Structure 1
């Protein structure tokens, strides 16, 4: 099938780098944190082989795409606008949207707000979450010694300093720590030490990254890690972290859409070792999802799989997405 090709497009007033492969109806792939178009390398090829035009942008702030400086340029409405802009740049009427991690949240809202342009949604890792009653950061866990990682990300410059010191070590630690293998190892070592693991908690004293070198997970090659490292060495972490700095602002903005459901056919896939599925309240979101996503076709849970769903389990994820695409009307 050849390799994906990359080019720069104009979308929603900024330049986005996109990787694409194949011909046919468009499938738009939205990555999460801390990744890039490259996290979809296995899906681009499989979707192209199945007769689709797979398009994976470096999302705003990432890779070779534009990285606006101002924090307020990274709201959920900017992201939805970027994806509508991608369809316009390619002059296509509609597409199926696929999202993982932050890209999952963005894809849910894109399908929800623009069902005229996005005819179906396949979402990985992050279930649909209705708007909370309270401002999100006000209810995130924190203690005298530790805080939830999304709180750690709020102060501009702090997480950037830790992560940019050695991008390769940062990405290696995050990709291993969030994977099925990493999650199992962390849990086992906590059990041996007789302590519980606070999901997503960051030490106020030591920061987020482990002080020891971690192994490469089996699904990630040294070449893959080199690619990610070079991207982040060039682009830095400010853009990606700015997504988190808009969590409360997004909550304010989305009040306007209270009660709007995701009405397009949808598929949800996650690993049973995914830290997002372990977050407080996640089981409830999974159980109630059909209330907010009435055309949810299936919730597929992959045993032993961690957070990096499409990279850890490409064969199962590709098969599930292609089957879902082929089941859609028209």
Structure 2
């Protein structure tokens, strides 16, 4: 069982007009960097099982709480959470450490940022490993507009955009219950019900599945979001259509070697055409839900390290 006190101590690094709370390990491996990018509503702590394994394999591991999370800066402007700001943060972090480029590993929203790094800053990315969220084809219609057409106004991506502040407040009033209900495993796959899923998770006392983590681990997330609130991190969602426009001129093909890891029990489906946009991709599916690296840490570490060693 992981003990939260074993996690690296925070360092505060000023980059790109924000201060990031960064957790670093394996300084003895300087010259072989890996950057870990967490999802929502998560933290760098989501990588607690990967960091020791990567350090033992010879990597210098850098895991920031990205802007809007933990004790990292929370800019007031919604547009300061778009893909350009998020990738510029990572580029500036590389500059801070004196690295030209690095391997990037992302999960969930962090995977979106890593795909974005490869599109907007390809010379700074050596290899890509992403979990849960595959490459997103840009298409002809902005993403939120498209989701609203097919998934309705209560779909949480759409709700976050069309009713700003409503969900934020409910999540903040029920932080412990929301995160405890969200971070579950062995949740049966069922068709989505006509409701705002995140608000439902914040209000229900009848969660499906089993707890994903120990009470002590969950307390790290609860404490962080009780302090930070949710609005800053939800602002990432409020830039999806802006991101769609910002990526208009990006060359859509990612040439770097890539590993895409899906969870067989995740609600996010695989992207059948991923190799069309990421020709050097290897695809792997683990018997896990959405929080792949926390639910199946040993299997995730084995997959990552074997792929990196090729």
Same fold? TM cut 0.5:
yes
Q: Which aligned runs of 4 or more in structure 1 are off by greater than 6 angstroms?
A: 142-146
Task: Give the 5 Å matches for 1:75-114.
Answer: 75-114=82-121
Q: Is the 8 A contact 1:26 1:55 kept in 2?
A: yes
Q: 238, 248, 255: which one pairs with 1:255?
A: 248
1:300 aligned partner: 284
Instruction: Report if the CA contact (8 A) 1:146-1:202 is conserved.
Output: no
How far apart in 1 are the matches of 2:142 and 2:113?
18
What's the counterpart of residue 172 of structure 2?
Answer: 164
| TM-score under structure 2 length normalisation | 0.91
From 210, 213, 216, the counterpart of 1:223:
216
* RMSD across aligned positions (CA): 2.1
8 Å CA contact 2:70–2:225 kept in 1: the answer is yes
Q: How far does residue 236 in structure 1 lie from its aligned partner after superposition?
A: 0.5
Q: Say which SS state the counterpart of residue 202 (structure 1) adopts.
A: coil
Query: Alignment partner of 2:154: what SS?
Result: strand
Q: 1:270 aligns with which of 259, 262, 273?
A: 262
2:13 aligned residue (5, 9, 16) = 9
Matched residue of 1:129: which SS? coil
Give the Cα–Cα distance (whole angstroms) in 2 for the partners of residues 50 and 202 of structure 1.
45
Matched residues in 2 for 1:146 and 1:85: separation? Answer: 37
Supply the distance in 2 between the matched residues of 1:144 and 1:114 (Cα, whole angstroms).
Answer: 32
Report matched runs for 1:1-330 at 5 Å: 3-22=7-26, 23-24=28-29, 25-141=32-148, 147-154=154-161, 155-176=163-184, 179=185, 181-182=186-187, 184=188, 187=190, 197-198=191-192, 202-203=195-196, 207=200, 209-214=202-207, 217-257=210-250, 259-277=251-269, 283=270, 285=271, 287-296=272-281, 298-303=282-287, 305-327=288-310
**Contact kept in structure 1, 2:181 and 2:201, CA below 8 Å:** no
Post-superposition offset of 1:203: 4.1
Tell me the residue number matched to 2:3.
none
Contact kept? 1:37, 1:56, Cα under 8 Å:
yes
Give the superposition deviation at 1:35: 0.3
Q: Gaps (5+ residues) in structure 2?
A: 1-5
Preserved contact between residue 5 and residue 21 of structure 1 (Cα < 8 Å): no
Displacement of 1:139 in angstroms is 2.0
Look up the SS of the partner of 1:153 in the other structure.
helix
CA distance in 1, matches of 2:86, 2:153: 30
Deviations 1:167-200 (A, max 9, x none): 1111111112xx3x12x1x63xxxxxxxxx227x
- 1:202, CA displacement in angstroms? 2.8
Q: CA deviation at 1:45?
A: 0.9
How far off is 1:78 after superposition? 0.6
- Deviation of 1:142 after TM superposition, in Å, equals 6.7
1:91 and 1:145 mapped to 2: Cα distance?
46
**TM-score (norm. length: structure 1):** 0.85
Give the direction of change, closer, same or farther, for the CA distance of 1:75–1:3 in structure 2 (3 Å limit). closer
Counterparts of 1:96 and 1:149, CA distance in 2 = 31
CA distance in 2, matches of 1:267, 1:57: 21
Give the CA deviation at 1:146. Answer: 6.4
Distance between the aligned counterparts of 1:53 and 1:144, measured in 2? 41
